[in-house]
Amino acid sequence: MSDPAPRTRLATHEVTNQPSPPPDRDLLAGDAPLQEALSREAPEWVARRLVPLGREVGSARVQALGEAANRHPPELRLFDRHGRRLDEVVYHPAYHELMQLAIDNGWHAVAWQEEGRGGHQAHIAALYLLTQAEPGFCCPVTMTHAAMPVLRQMPAIEAHWAPGLLAWDYDPRVLPAGEKSGLTFGMAMTEKQGGSDVRANTTRAEFTAEGWRLTGHKWFCSAPMSDAFLTLARTDEGLTCFLVPRFTPEGERNAIELQRLKEKCGNRANASAEIEYRGARAEPVGEPGRGIATILEMVQQTRLDAATAPVGMMRQALVEAWQHVGERHAFGRALAEQPLMQVLLADMALEVEAGLALVMRAARAFDGAARDDAREQALSRLLPTLAKYWHNKRTPAFMAEAMECLGGIGYVEETPLARLYREAPVNSIWEGSGNVICLDLLRVLGRHPESLEALQAEFGAVRGQQAELDRALALLEAELAEPPESLEPRARWLAQRLTQCLQAALLLRHAPPEVAETFCRSRLGDESGPAYGVLPGDVPLAALLARIGD
């Protein structure tokens, strides 16, 4: 028996002109751009495996879990009732159910278990869908996924930790790793005095009769209830990467003390902690003194996830706004029938489709790199950097527009848009803020010219097809011909333009002509503007809006 409908006849008025309660949705079946991206980028098994996830994530039950995980954020428990040290974080049951949804279906492990055969494309498509349930819990899923390339640098460490990391079993129990059915990984890199400049880190590693011990602090430790953490500390050789287990080999709690949980703007379902190592046991990973190079293997993976999450969030906000304007009437007709609203939502739909095309192309590059395809390997160095920078710059304004579509109700916590707005900046800051990412772009272009050559080949496939893109590419070539020292002040412009041109090239090759042409004119042409809802007057709105789906 279904729940009875809420009352609409109240004491002083009747509730009318309000949208229906959100239905169960199939987030894969209702997303034509995602289905098309999977059909062209990924092996057939990927879409087939995603089918139940699309239904589950779009269900009212899972959407309610996301809301509950945010309304009941994690709590820090430093001591038990008798004063014994715990250093534990307690999560709401909704958080654990979401983690189980991701890990018990293998979305943290699929990239490595199907490596080179579409595994990265499966992971990215799943993350895009999972984010639409709740973005915060995706952080430990991402880091568990991304730890694998680092572990591979040390065969003994990989042999010990990889079976638990790759297991399809979410096990939240606070136990030594050997007693658990599945493991998660976290990361602790930045310190107060340096932030993104990890070369300023002061945490010290010393070798003792019992092995390496770490002493120092970390300003941000992501997912502090993980079974192991990757971290940076100084040795005599220099900054080195270490693996810090939650429990020592003897089965005792390691000396990792949680100082406090961050009270963040958003990302509230996920715990972020300040920690101190008080002689914590650890194992070195990678070459001594080359900790940054070692950890970049992980960062490259997390950056692509940090570029994908905002696209999933934008998709969720777009669907929420589209449902509302389809049923809400003002000034004599449905909001969805009014030209200004149609232009705004069509423009927002373009942004989501372009972002999705880019992250799925980047995921294919990762899979190609695993097969030793030189061109795909070159692209895999560059595309996550571009996508992370630009997608995250576009997301906060996107969320603000989605809230405006709903009006006042969009600004209150009963809809997901308020928490999506608070969530919007986090992926821009995580794993390198905008300026850091742009500097990294210059580093890749300087050290790996083959990456730019591979990108130019992507552009070459569509040269001559669209006037605005051709003009934008000519300007890019002129800019890139300037001396390298002159590029740094222009690095943000360069990152934006490279990304938009690549999005345009992908849409011209793969999207319907009305989508690709409108994107090029509105992002690269004379009528482009910084705000959403600015499109040329003759664009095919009906065709663009039909791409939103349900």
The domains located in the chain, with CATH, are 32-175 (1.10.540), 185-289 (2.40.110.20), 296-546 (1.20.140.10)
> Residue 484's pLDDT is what?
80
The pairs formed by 28-33 with CB atoms below 8 angstroms and a separation of 24 or more are: 28/53, 28/54, 28/55, 28/129, 29/54, 29/55, 30/58, 30/319, 30/549, 30/550, 31/315, 31/549, 32/547, 32/549, 33/352, 33/353, 33/356, 33/357, 33/511, 33/547
> Residue 432's pLDDT is what?
86
For residue 497, what are the CA distances in angstroms to 238, 297, 424, 533? Answer: 37, 26, 22, 20
How far is residue 218's CA from residue 398's CA, in Å, rounded to a whole number? 33
pLDDT tens string 262-297: 999 999 999 999 999 999 999 999 999 999 999 988
What single-letter amino acid sits at 309? A
Which two tokens mark 169?
Answer: 């079993």
pLDDT tens string 461-520: 999 999 999 999 999 999 998 888 889 999 999 999 999 999 999 999 999 999 999 999
> Residue 3's pLDDT is what?
67
In this prediction, the residues of the chain whose per-residue pLDDT falls under 70 are 1-3, 550
Whole-model pTM over 0.85 = yes
> Nearest 10 degrees: CA dihedral of 355, 360, 364, 367?
110
